[in-house]
Amino acid sequence: MVELTRERGVEAVVGDVQDLPFRDGIFDCVLAAWMLYHVPDLNQALRQIRRVLRPGGRLVATTNSERTMPELWEQFGSDGRPGSSFSAENAQGALLRHFTIVERRDVHGEVTFPDRRAARDYVASLVTKAHLADRLPFFDGPLRVSRHAVVFVCEP
């Protein structure tokens, strides 16, 4: 993503959200798109994000529900059970420890995997679930799954 951004002539920096290489109060908005559940120290990351926001700035954080795509994850039995340190079910509490205003917007939809290969490739692309990809049972035809994501808009 950083390389693609740079190719478009936009300055982009690789950094660790737990130790952001920016001065205090520099950004109007920080976008954390489906990544905070990968951070080892979530509270440190949220402190850093708040630090780099200017007064009146906003954090927009997106994440999934632990109940997103149940039709896919049930294919793996108990190994497909979701769990996340930053999900629709638990993110609001973490955000309220660092931000005064936290608005939640739920987004529901569907995804259709046209065949097993597409579903397998999707699972293989996930950092936390890639090890399950080859265990996806065979199925014919498309697999329709329900999606539930949440967008949090936060202000200091």
Q: Which domains, ranges and CATH numbers included, belong to the chain? A: 2-155 (3.40.50.150)
74-to-82, 113, 114, 131 alpha-carbon distances in Å? 10, 15, 18, 15
The conformation of residue 19, written as its DSSP 8-state character, comes to B
Rounded Cα distance, 33 and 62, in Å = 5
Rounded Cα distance, 105 and 149, in Å = 9
Radius of gyration of the chain (CA): 18
Q: What is the pLDDT of residue 27?
A: 97
Rounded Cα distance, 86 and 34, in Å = 9
Q: What is the pLDDT of residue 127?
A: 83
Strand partners, 113: 143
Rounded Cα distance, 152 and 141, in Å = 35
Q: What residue ranges of the chain have pLDDT lower than 70?
A: none
Q: What is the pLDDT of residue 19?
A: 97
Amino acid at 101: I
Q: What is the pLDDT of residue 85?
A: 87
**What's phi and psi for 117, nearest 5 deg?**
-60, -45
Q: What is the pLDDT of residue 81?
A: 80
Q: What is the pLDDT of residue 63?
A: 97
Strand partners, 33: 62
